[in-house]
Amino acid sequence: MLTIVNPALRRRRITLLLGAVGVTALLTAALPELTAAGVAVVQAAASPATVQIDNFAFAPATLTITAGTTVTWKNEDDSPHRIGDKDGTFKSAALDTDDSFSHTFATPGEYPYICTIHPYMVGKIIVKPAGKS
């Protein structure tokens, strides 16, 4: 199942990211949950965090970021998906294959979301206050 493959892809991506920032000591950052170190890297790289959608699943299913980070969902699946959170804070259009959607999380908190087309697909963004880790 791709849910097994995905963490590997994610690990590779984050490893590259870490290399780019030159924080080689952090190469062993624990996954699948992003550690505090992982959060710091996302911030330091000033690069938007990415959630990949494939095989009717979000990867990573839980993403931890700092406030002000932009998250981009990229639909790499053969089926359309649509991001929506419980309270309507963020909602994408229906994303066809290769479409993406971005949202900047300004306020710390936990943001569970689903694919509103396939409500059994769930994910969560955890937003930590900026400047803390």
Partner 1 sequence: MADRDDKDLLGAAKMDRRGLLKCMAWTGTGVVWTLSGGVPRTLGLIGGAAAAEAPQGGLTFVQISDSHIGFHLPPNPDPSATLTEAINKIKAMRTQPAFLVHTGDISHLSKEEQWDDADQIIKSANKQVFFLPGEHDVADADNGKAYLARYGKNTKGKGWYSFDHGGVHFIGLINVFEFQPGFKSAGLAKLGDEQLEWLEKDVAGRSASTPIVLMAHLPLWTIYEQWGWGTQDAGRALGYLKRFGSVTVLNGHIHQIIQKVEGNVTFHTADSTAFPQPAPGTAPAPGPMKEVAANELHKYLGIRTVNYVRGKSAPALTDSTLVA
Of 15-23, 28-36, 72-80, 101-109, the window that binds partner 1 (rule: CB under 8 A) is 72-80
Q: In angstroms, give the least distance from the CB of 95 to partner 1.
A: 9
The H or E element spanning position 129 is none
Q: In angstroms, give the least distance from the CB of 62 to partner 1.
A: 12
Q: CA 85 to CA 72: how far, in whole Å?
A: 14
**At 11, is the secondary structure helix, strand, or coil?**
helix
Considering only residues 28 through 67, tell me which ones interact with partner 1, judged by CB under 8 A. 55-57
**At 90, is the secondary structure helix, strand, or coil?**
coil
Q: CA 19 to CA 25: how far, in whole Å?
A: 9
- The footprint of partner 1 (CB under 8 A) covers 1-3, 55-57, 77-80, 82, 86, 93-94, 96-97, 112, 114, 116-122
